[in-house]
Structure 1
């Protein structure tokens, strides 16, 4: 992509440009924000470094590309973490600057910034990029600061300190010093006082005088003065004010992969500086985000969507699909509009809206129409409608038409309690895959972390890892671990359940290796944690494998982790059993236990994966099928009556696990029933069988919400050939 780089003069923004080139992008322009008054060194800004701004003008000549500058008119008006376009705010100066750059250079696709740890700055850059249709590149984001500082030095960044404001840093001693000279001392201050060695806490600011990107010249600072802003005895604050400097021409161009490409662009007026004239920001005509008017969308037919919901609980699910037999499908766009509209209406009936949604499962019938699905989705679920954060999401192709459904099926997890923490990083970085659309990497609610479906994408390039399904799985797990660390947990110790969606494109010979890789990866992280002296509470996570027709980007694997983020003092324990009376028509036998895997947390979480194999079905239905019936023929012989018996057996076993661990059916957050389309049973029919099975035992369990999910195969092993697989998650709040 062609990139405009936000530059402050600091080491971070310069190294971020170098990383952009490393990952195949081209820096074609620079953008800088400076004070209105040239004599002012520093502004009271949460966003911009302005110390040393007198020298930034030289960057255009040093790099041989145009520099666009704008004087900062605004101030800090919107101080909340998540930014919304606000007239008069200093962020609008960035918007106007980049808007002008894009106008002058329409080919620009992305913006580079040097954000390392500041969510405040990252979110504002992402907001501006979103409004301008640009991609945010933040390759330093979440990188280890000690390693990052060493990388900058090793890769030729020559930067001096121009501001100090931390314990142990003295303006008279340390201003004007090169970062390579201060490297060891900064690490000593980290040990003594916990400072950020890259200065991310405002401990110091730098000015880059030379780097491999400066192919034409380096900056030579001739004279400066130290200005003391605060003589505090503990942490004095001082800045370096440049008085004189000149450029020293380089005899030969520096060698940096990608620099030649950059210089071959032959941009018109290369090396010139453009000042973007400031206009009044009060009107902020373009500052409002584009929000589609969802009220004009087609309303679903009353008899079309099927709603599965549970109104009285704090956290519950709503699922909605279109029965093809009840409504002729007009295509994915219309079907998805109808389903989303019906869910929106259902939320409204509960006094809720999209901000109450924690997670969305988006099931579509054809992944070739993913772009259409996304365009429709964003007309309903937007940042504007979800000020506390957009829900996390997983998108899967399912064989919906095979079971009598339309082209779209949505399941949403809803809470009446909006106390949630959402991680939504839209910038492309080395940290984890970005979520440029209106869905987040993860949502934490009541100690449960609902993570978006993770593909095996290499974060810096957002391309799938090469090497097949196992390589993709390993990358997806690394991405999951990066997200988990943002919530101070690990997928190896905090995971309750892994749902691994497998594309049918995976050769059968490769499927077993997926299960081996998952187990080996988790063990590797556990061992590493133990070697570091950590002895965290470890859960024994469940695994569920689901075979589907296709995944986004033609990925072979998508991982969806569910984690329980425990408090430090919390321990894992069994809940107290409950005594329930009722007749399930099944006498418990020892072999029943082989159908169940569970993960129980402290009487708070109960997760169960139940699989009914073909062999189990034969044993359950032997009175109808004959004791010698071969299991491989079972799917073609099951009648509706026999399937109902199997479903009652599933409910019986789930009830047993719930009661043994002290949980009530009313505490179920979600219950998914996966079944292969090879059973040739319409989804509506199977859903009715389940409903009838629950109604037979209303004295034990009022009908919980459940979602029936048609798949190509499923089970707790990668053979994915089980007849019925149930995924239950209950939480006591």
Structure 2
């Protein structure tokens, strides 16, 4: 997105699609066309409401006037079909009303050369996923600048306030319960007094915080008549006698518009469009950045050493491998060792197809992949082939890094897979492909997050998350000259927003990848990232006096929504659901060869776990011995274990420390769910067995100690 895009603005006449168009202009893009879908004409009525799942149709007779009012060509097409596919996940489905977009957008692209499409979706995954599906098929970049706007701005009311600030006149043309009655019809929703009335009605109805203030649940719909002069060359005028109220029953009512006209403005006073762009960092992460920038040199600290004979095994019960989850490391066959990157990628894809066939599962059972490349420049090449594995929506989450010469000789890539044997009906995904202010879009075959039940019938879920680099979401570019601390905090905020959206309350552990190009600074960069991880997990201070806030107001007041999670979300970290130690999840920084886009940092969590009042996590106190340290977390019927071992100061062999730590774990020679390891390149003769291994140049823990290796276990607790 380094060059301005030629944008098709999907418009319904509603406030969101028009305001999203303004943000396209704000970012320097050219809106070359307006596109709209409308119901087939009715012989008996001047206008009617289709009540479409996908498209707003109230006020559709006014839409042709936007071409004159905005001075932008308008393309329209009739809506045919209905909601054949009603789920959030959408694939091409014949007869579904979504498919009407395809010929409409194709015609616009053919006549204008457009390469992007904008939509006004704010919280509706139903609409967003359908536009993204069509955009992807047509090769168009999806722009959704309003997506999750309440999250990035702090509350729902801020968005309506921003619309009012730029002079948007958005009249309410339909109400459908949600605490609103026909007395709200034809009011300007961007007016502060009307907004307060809506917020009051939503509080009484108990639906504030679910997008109701913005009409996201269909509580109301709007029609924009005017806006800033830089966009609206003319104002749409509807006289009182040219509209009437239609009552549908059940509290629903809408405005039928009989006639409308455009009243042109004085072109000599038109000014450039300026709308507020949300801050890149929200208050919590701005505070963390400020703390990092003031951070002084500190000592690595010390750890309590407990010998294996003194330490008690800290597992709750014996653990075994989870039969519902497979962790598999794939390398090219020896016969393919001299083949090109394309040939080795094809070889691995063939191995994956064979693996899926043998287990009688499809590629939708793959929940996460880690792709290890010799050269990051091969990313584009392998991506085209990798995409063929996932013809269905919502591919697995993914991490991609370059290991350079750390990969075996003549090996261009390796792929580590996590596969689930759970029924696919329990699989959930977060797969946002639209550029917004929220978090980086998925430009490629991966999802931000995939979640599954820890085991069938369990309330808690385990979540895999894609690696997060510090891209600016709205432009999908890296920041320039803001320093490592800023990059680390921005990438961490991406991880937090994704985790919060899918209900994560606790992480298993995190590895921050650092590129070798920053060799001289990586020890300090590891320290900065470790401090950010510690800051973001700071437990609430229970000793401070509570503010004198009415609890009912605190729950419902949109201004206070920033003090905790939105309704329906878990807090992250969810300290209320954590029992045992108050230590944050383990942190490690690993120096590898390179990262995508030349990023300075990538945050990669081992797993996320959802929490609730009735299902939490138990964090066991870290146990350390001579050359090793163990951290365990138990979640429902599973145990997540991190064993790190260190370079010995007295010359003891690494396998001694490793054997010592395994004995304390009670493993006694058994792998028992071991899934992988991060190893310093100097560690020799390490038996990988069935787990994956990521060799690294250097590794540090959260206390600035050099680490020889980190082993990750996941086991099912025997009950």
Instruction: Give the TM-score band, short-chain normalised.
Output: 0.7 to 0.9
Matched, 1:230 2:245: no
Where do residues 485-524 of structure 1 align in structure 2 (5 Å cutoff)?
A: 485-490=500-505, 494-509=506-521, 511-520=523-532, 522-524=534-536
* Greater RCO, 1 or 2 (C-alpha within 8 Å, sep 6+): 2
Does residue 1:32 correspond to 2:36, yes or no?
Answer: yes
Match of 2:111 among 104, 110, 114: 104
CA contact (8 A) 2:374 2:407 kept: no
Q: Is 1:475 matched with 2:490? A: yes
For the residue of structure 2 that corresponds to 1:87, the secondary structure is coil
Q: Do the aligned partners of 1:470 and 1:514 also contact (CA within 8 Å) in 2?
A: no
Task: Give TM-score, length-normalised by structure 1.
Answer: 0.78
1:326-405 to structure 2, matched below 5 A, reads 327-383=336-392, 389-400=394-405, 403-405=408-410
Is the Cα–Cα contact under 8 Å of residues 614 and 722 in structure 1 kept in the other structure?
A: yes
Q: Distance in 2 between matches of 1:168 and 1:709?
A: 55
**Superposed displacement of residue 154, structure 1:** 1.5
Is 1:565 aligned with 2:610?
yes
> CA, structure 1 residues 134+454, in 2 after alignment: closer, same or farther (shift >3 Å)?
same
Match of residue 213 from structure 2: 197
Closer, same or farther in 2 for the Cα pair 1:651/1:717, shift >3 Å?
same
In the alignment, which residue of structure 1 is the partner of 2:628?
595
Q: Does 1:132 align with 2:138?
A: yes
The Cα of 1:158 is off from its aligned counterpart by 0.8
Closer, same or farther: CA 7–483 of 1 in aligned 2, 3 Å: same
Once the two structures are TM-superposed, the CA of residue 444 in structure 1 deviates from its matched residue by 1.3
1:544 equivalent among 584, 588, 591: 588
Displacement of 1:727 after TM fit? 3.1
Once superposed, what is the RMSD of the aligned Cα atoms?
A: 2.9
Deviation per CA, 1:674-718, whole angstroms, max 9, x where unpaired?
231x56x6xxxx46x454xxxxxxxxxxxxx31122222223258
Where does residue 214 of structure 1 map in the other structure? 231
Rounded to whole Å, the distance in 1 between the matches of 2:198 and 2:91 is: 36
Instruction: Label 1:82 to 1:529 Cα distance change in 2 as closer, same or farther (>3 A).
Output: farther
Separation in 2 of the partners of 1:22 and 1:658?
A: 60
Is 1:455 matched up with 2:469? yes
Q: For structure 2, which runs of at least 5 residues remain unmatched after alignment? A: 151-155, 276-319, 455-460, 547-562, 565-570
Shift in Å, 1:322 = 2.7
Q: What secondary structure, in the 3-state scheme, does the structure 1 residue paired with 2:618 have?
A: coil
Q: Which residue in 1 is equivalent to 2:25?
A: 21
**Alignment CA distance shift 1:253-1:411 (3 Å):** farther
CA distance in 2 between partners of 1:410 and 1:525 (Å)? 31
- Structure 1 distance, partners of 2:36, 2:333, is 55
When residues 522 and 80 of structure 1 are mapped into structure 2, their CA distance, relative to the original with a 3 A threshold, is: same
Q: Deviations over 1:188-210 (max 9, x none)?
A: 01211115111011111000011
CA distance in 2, matches of 1:365, 1:24: 37
For structure 1, the residue ranges without an aligned partner over 5 or more in a row are 260-309, 577-589, 622-645, 692-704
Residue deviations 1:487-538, cap 9 Å, x none? 2335xxx122111111112253354244334434553564679784885234
Question: Normalising to structure 2: TM-score of the pair?
Answer: 0.79
2:512–2:602 contact (8 Å) kept in structure 1: yes
CA distance in 2, matches of 1:524, 1:573: 19
Whole-Å Cα distance in 1 between the matches of residues 415 and 660 of structure 2? Answer: 27
| Residues 75-109 of structure 1, C-alpha deviations (whole Å, 9 max, x = no match) | 22122221111222111111111111111112x11
Bigger radius of gyration: 1
Q: Which residue of 2 aligns with 1:713?
A: 698
How far did 1:6 drift?
0.2
Structure 2 CA distance for partners of 1:112 and 1:669, relative to 1, 3 Å: farther
What SS is found at the alignment partner of 2:648? helix
Aligned length, in residue pairs: 610
Offset at residue 56 of structure 1 (A): 1.2
**1:339-367 deviation per Cα after TM superposition (whole angstroms, max 9, x unaligned):** 12112212221222211111000111111
Q: Distance in 2 between matches of 1:517 and 1:566?
A: 25
1:464 paired residue number: 478
Alignment of 1:396-415 (within 5 A): 396-400=401-405, 403-415=408-420
1:654 is matched with which residue?
Answer: 662
Q: Structure 2 matches for 1:717-732, cutoff 5 A?
A: 717=702, 721-732=706-717
Separation in structure 2 between the aligned mates of residue 731 and residue 547 of structure 1, nearest angstrom: 31
- Tell me the CA shift for residue 167 of structure 1: 4.3
